[in-house]
Structure 1
Amino acid sequence: MVNLTALTVVLLLGLFTAVSWSVHVPRKSNSLIHKDNACKLRSRTFVDCREKSLKTVPNETFPETTEKLDLSLNNLHKIYSYTFRTLVYLKWLDLSFNKINKLQSHAFANLHRLEYLNINSNEVILSDNTYSPQLFVPLTSLKVLHMEKNKCIKQTGESVFPRAVAALTNLRELYTDLTTYVSFTSEFTNLTKLTTISSSGWGLPNRKHAKQCCVKRMYNATFSPFRNIGIKHFRLAYSCLQEIQLDVFEPFHELESLELVGNQQLGLYWALQSLHGLQNQTIPVLSLKAANNFIRRRKRDFSLNIFSMRYLNTICVTALDMSENYIIMPRTAPFSRPDCLRHFDMSVHVTNPQRLIRKLMHDKTFPYLQFLNISTNTAVAHDTLSAQNFDTNSSFSFSVQSSKRLNLHTVDLSFLPMSCQFESHDFYALKVLNISGWNCTIATPPLFLNLVNVTHLSARRTKFNIGLMRHFEKGSLFRNMISLEEVDLSENELTSVPQDLFLTNHKLSSLILFNNKLTGLPMEVLKTINLVHLDLSSNVIEYLTQSEIEELEKQKQQRPGFNLKLISNPFVCDCENLVFLRWLNNTNLVVDFGPEFLCTTTNGQQEQITKFMKKYKNFSVSCVSRSWLKVGVGAIFAVVVSIFVILAYYRNRWNVHYWFYTNCRPSPDMLPTRQYDYDAFVCYNHNDYDWVYETLQPYLEEGAPELRLCLHHRDFEVGEVIQQNIVDAINSSRKVILVISNNFIKSTWGEYEIEMAGMRSVQEGRANVIICVLLEEVPVRDMPRTLMNLWHRVTFLVWPQNAHEQSLFRERLTSALE
C-alpha cells in the first residue's frame, strides 16, 4: 500500500515537472522576442525582424513552430552554417536588403520545408565559385528563389551561372541577375518544374554594380539546357543587351509570356528578330516595351514593315505591348495574325496615330481586339498641346461607320490631337474610354451617341468648360450613356456643372472634378441617384453654405457610403465661415480631411484648420458683435435691390420675352435644304395602335396625295437601339406627328419622342415641324414639361367624334403636312 502511494506521488511529481517545463520554455522564448530592438512575434508562426539593425541572426529567440521569418533591411554580413537548424517547419525566409557577402555551404541546413527564399539586394557575387555546390541541397521543397540585385565581378569571357541552383529540383520561379556573358550548364536539365525565369532592373541608371550584373550578349546555346523544360514565363528587362542571336529563345516551346522590356541598346528591330526561334507558336503575352528609345535620340523613328515583322507575324499573340518605341505607322498595317490579338498597347511616341485608328476601327484590321491603348504620355502631350494651343485645325476627326461592329472593351486615346467632333457607330461593346487631352472646345452630341455600355469615362484636360456650355442642350451630352458608373472631368477649368448633365445616368457612382474652378457644390449633380464618391479637390471653394452642408448630410443619410474629397481648396477662416469650419472639423463625410487642410485667416496667414479649431470658441465670440450689424445692413440692401429688379422686369417684361424669342433660335433661311425619306414620323402609344393603323395610315398613305409615313412597328430597324431608331426616324422625316393621349403622355418613350422632336424644331427654327393630334382630352396638369413647352408653339388638331368634323380634320391635317 505504501509502495503504491509512493509510486503515485512520483508519477504526479513527474507530470507536474513536465507540464512546468513545457509552459516555461515558450514564455522564455516569447519574452526574448518581445524585448526592445528585437524581433516581433506577429503570430504563432510569423516572426518579424525587419529593420532591427541586426548584425547576426538571433536564432535562439525563434519558436520552433516558426513558418515565416522576415530578416530584411538589417546589417547581416554572413549566414553561417546551421544558422536555421532548429526551424524545421520554416516555409518562408526573407534575407533581402542586407549586406550579405557570404553564404556558407550549410547555411540552409534542415530547411527541408522551405518554399520561398529571398536574398535580393545583397553583396553575394553572382559566380559559380561563390555558391557552394552543397548550399541549396537541403532545400528540397523550394519553389521560389529571388537572388537579384547582388554583386558581380568584371568578366572578359563566358561565365557559368551558379550550378548550386541546379540542385533545386522543385524550383518553379527563378528571379536573378544575368552576368555579361552568361551560360547554363547541363546540370540545369534537373530543373524540370521550372516555369519562370526573370531578370530585370540592372540596366537602369543609378544602379550599383549595373555594368557587371547586366547581360550584354545571348547566344543560341545560352538556354539550351531548358529545351525539355516547360518554361512558360521569361522576362529580361532594362538590361545592357547589345547582341542576341536569332534562335536564342528556340528552347522555349511552351512560352506563355515573353517580356523584353527596356532593352534600349538592343533596339526594337533586333528584339523582333530574336523571335525567329518562336515561329508558329502561340504566346499569349508579348512585351517589347521601350526597346527603341536610343534610336529616338538619333532622330530616327522606327518603321514597322513586313520585313521587320516577318517572325512576329507567324506567332499568335493575345496581348502585345509595343509602347514607348517611337514607331511610325505605315499605311498598311504589317500584321498577318490579327485574329489572335485581344490586347494591344502602342502608347507613347506613335507617329501618325490616325493611321492606326483608321486601320483598327475603319478597316477592322483586328476584328477581335478588346483592349487598345495608343495614348501619349502626359509629359509629351503637354509639350505638344502647348505648342498647338488647342488649335482646332491641329486636331483631326472622322466618322467611323461599318456593318461590322468592334469588340473593343477598353480604349485609351488620351492626349492625341483628336477633336470631339469624332463620331462612331461601332462602340456598343465598349466599357472603358479615355479621351483625356482631346480638343473639345467644339463638340457634337454624336461623340457619345452609341456608348450605351460604357461604365468608366475619363475626359481630363479636354476644354469641356467651353464645349459643355456652348454646344449641348440640357442633358444631351451623356444622355445615351445609361451604364456610366465613373466619370473623370478633372482639369477642365469648369466653373459650374450643367444641372441636367447626368439626368439619365442613374448608375453613376463616382464623379471626379479635381482641379477645376468650382466655387461650390454642384447641387443638382449631387442628387444623382447612386452617387457615392465626389472629388472636388483642388478647386476654388472657400467655404460651403448652410444649404450645401444640409444637402450633403441628407445624401449621407440616404446613401451611407457617400463621401467627399475637398483637399487643396483655398478655404477662408473668418466669421462668415464658422458653421462650415465646425462642420468640417466634426464630420466624417470628408474622407481626406486632416492636417493638410489649410485656410487663410483674417491677417492673410495660412494655418492648419485643425489648429485653428482649437481656438474656435474665442474666435466665435469676437464674431457675434459684428454679425448683427452686417445682417441688418445686408437685409435692407437685399430688399431694395429685389424691389428694383422686380419693378424693372415688370415694366419691360414683353421686351425681354421678345428679345429671347428673336435671338435664341436659328434662322430658317440659314438651314440647308435636304431630301427626306419620309413625309412624317408618327409617334404614338401602343394602346393607340388601332386608330393609327385603321384611320390615320390609310388616309395619308392611300389618299391623294399619297404620303409616306414612318411607323414604329413597320419601319424601325430590327436590332438597333430604340433611342437611335427614334432619332433616325425624326431626322429622316419632313414632319413629326405626335398622337397625344393619356397613355402617350404617361409613357417614358413618349416624353423622349416629344423632346427629340422639339430639339429638331429648335435646330431648324421652324415650329411647323411638329403636328400634335389630340385623340382625347388630356388635363393640362398631367402634361409633361416637354409637351407644355410645345403647347403655344405648334399646330394642335383635335380628333372629333362625328363623321362631318372628321372630314374637316383630315383636310386640316393634309394642309399641315404640305
Structure 2
Amino acid sequence: MCTTGLAMLVFLVGISAVWKVASLPCTFDSVSGFLDCGSRELHHIPTENIHFDNAEEIDLSGNKLGRIKNETFSKNSALKCLDLSYNVITHLETRAFGGLDHLAILNLSGNGIALSPDVLTPELFEPLVALREIRMQHMSVPVSEWRGIDTTFQMLKNLTKLYIDFPPEFVFGIGFSELTKLKTVSTAGRRREYNGCNLRALRNSTFSVLWEVNITELRLINCGIDTIENGTFDPLTALDTLDLSNNINLGLAQAIKSLRSFNNREMKEIRLARLNNGSLSGFLDCGSRELHHIPTENIHFDNAEEIDLSGNKLRRIINETFSKNSALKYLDLSYNVITDLETRAFGGLDHLAILNLSGNGIALSPDVLTPELFEPLVALREIRMQHMSVPVSQWRGIDATFQMLKNLTKLYIDFPPEFVFGIGFSELTKLKTVSTAGRWRQYSECNLRALRNSTFSVLWEVNITELRLINCGIDTIENGTFDPLTALDTLDLSNNINLGLVQAIKSLRSFNNREMKEIRLARLNNNSFSMLILLLVVMYRYRTNLRYWLYTRLQPPKDMFAEQEYVFDAFVAYTSEERKWVSQQLFPNLELPENSFKLCIHDRDFTPGKPIHENIVDKMRESRKILLIISQHFLESTYGPLEIEYAVMKSLSDGRDDIILCVLMEDIPVRHMPKALRNLWHKITFLKWSADQAEQVIFWRSLIEALD
C-alpha cells in the first residue's frame, strides 16, 4: 500500500461520500480520492467501475488478477498511486499504463512478471513520465527469466526509488545511467511463498555504469551474496547508506574489506548484520523450510542468539523446546499455523529480547496465553502478535499474562472491537510503543471499533510515547480517551475510514499544551466540512509562519543577482525590562566609533504608524544579523516569541545558520526555550552575560567577533 497527499481540491468539494462501487465490493472516498479494491478475490479489473476523474490512489492488491490490458486506467487521469501487488499477474500489455502521466508510485511486487524486455517493454513504461517510485519485489518467476531490462527502465527519467530483487549475476545495464535522479535501490526480505533477492556476486561491473547516477541509499538484504570484488562500490560516489544484512554466505572480513570504497567519505549508515562471521554470528536460519515440527535435536547451539522459524507449518510449541538455547535473544515463529503453546514452551529463555508470534492461530485468551507461559521471559523487550487468524470471540482478558513482561517496551498487537487494557498492563512501566498492523492478504487485522474513556484508564503510570492504531475500523472516540497517556508524543489513527475527522481532531484536546512529535490522521472520513475545520486548525497553528510568508511574498521582488545591502549590522530584540541594559551597556560598547556597529533598536528605528509585525520583518530584512536578548521576561512577552519565530524563518529562508546571535541574561534551561529556537540551538552563537568584570571583557570581545 502506498500513500499520497490530499489534493488542494479537497477543500472545494461540496459534500463527500464513501460508497459502494456499483457491482464491486470496493469503496471510493471522493474527498481523498482513494479507491479501495484490495483483497476482493477479483480475477479481472472491472474497468467500467473504476473510472473516477478524481481518483488519486487505487489499491488492487491481494487479488487474483492475471493480466493488465491496454489503457486499463486511461480515464484515471489524476491517478498518483497504483498498487497491483500480490496478485498473479504474468502479462502486461504494451499500453497497460497508457494515460498515467501523473502516476508517482507503482507497486507490482508479489506477481509472476518476468523481468525481461519481452514482457517489460520500453513502450510499457513510456507513459510514466512522473513516476518516482516503483516496487518489483517477491516475484514468483524463475531466475532464467531475468534478463537485461535497462532499455525499459531508462524510460523512467524521474525515478528516485527502485525496489527490486536481483538475479544471481545482475549487472546494471547502460540504460540505468540515464536515471540521474535515482537515489534509493533496495531489495526485499523473504516473505513466505515469494522469491527474494538472489544476487550472489557483486562484481566491478555491477555498478560500473552508475558513476553519474547519485544513488545515496543501497540496501541488498537477504540476497545470498557470497562475493564482493574490490572496488565494487567505487562508482557509487554519492552513497551514504549501505545495508548488506542477512547475507549469511558473505564473510564479514570480505564485507569490511569492500568498504574501502568509502574511505574519506562521511557515511550515514552501514549495516552488516547477520553475515558469516564464524561462530560469532549466532544466527540459525530455519525459515520457510516446510517444517511441521521443530527438530529440537538440530537447533540446540549454546551460542545461537537468533533463530528464524518463520514461514513454516508449525502447529504446536511443546515445553522446553528452546531450553538449551540459553543465549537466545531473538526468536521468530511468525506466519506458521501455531494454535497451541504449552505452558513452558519458552522455558529457559531468560535472555530473549524479541519474540515474533504474528500470523498464527493463537487465541489471545488466558487459557492459551497463560501467565506461566511468559513467566520465563524476564528480559523480553518486544513482542509481536499481529495478523492472527482467530475469531474475535476468542479474544479475552490477557492482562494477567502480559503483566509478567516487566521489561516490555514494544507491543505490536491487533485488538478486538471493544478491547480495554486490564489492570495487569499497569505494571508494564517500561512500555513505550503500542502498535497495530495493517491488512495483509488472508490474515486478520485490528478490529478495534471504539476508543472509550476506559480503554487506557489503567495506564496513567505507564509512559507510552507512541500509539499507532492503524486500519482498525475505529468509528468512535470518547472525549478524554487519551488523557491517561500523559507521555504520548506520537499518535497515528490513519486508515480508519469510519472515523470522522472532526471527531478525531476533537479527541486531540488531550494533547493541549503538550509538544507532539507526530500526529497522523490520514484516510479518515473527511467530508468537506471536516477538511475546512482541519484547514482552519492548521492555519491557526502556523499563523505566525503564514503571516511572515505572506508579507515577505507581497514585497517587491529583489534583483537576484544584486549584492545584498544592509542598513543595520544587527537587529536587536529585547523587552522593556532589558531597555536599561541595552542603553547603558550594548549601545556604548557596540556603537562606539572604534567599533562603529549600527544597531536597529525598535524604540529608535521602527517606522511610526506601521504595524509592529511588519516593522519587525522589514527591519530584520535590512539587518545583517539578529541579536536576541533572552530573559524570562522576553520569552513571556507578547512580541519576544514572535521575534524568535521571524528570526528563525529568516535564517531558514536565507539559508544562513550564522544570522542569529543570542545573549542569555539569566540561566534558562534549553528545554524551556521555544521549540523554533531549540531546533537550531546547535547552530546558534550564544553568549552568557555576567556581572563579573573580567568575564564581561571576554563577553564583549566575543560579541564583536560574532558581529564582524
TM-score for the superposition, normalised by structure 1: 0.35
Greater helix fraction, Structure 1 or Structure 2: 1
Q: Which has the larger radius of gyration?
A: 1
TM-score for the superposition, normalised by structure 2: 0.40
- Which has the higher relative contact order, 1 or 2, with Cα contacts under 8 A spaced 6 or more apart? 2
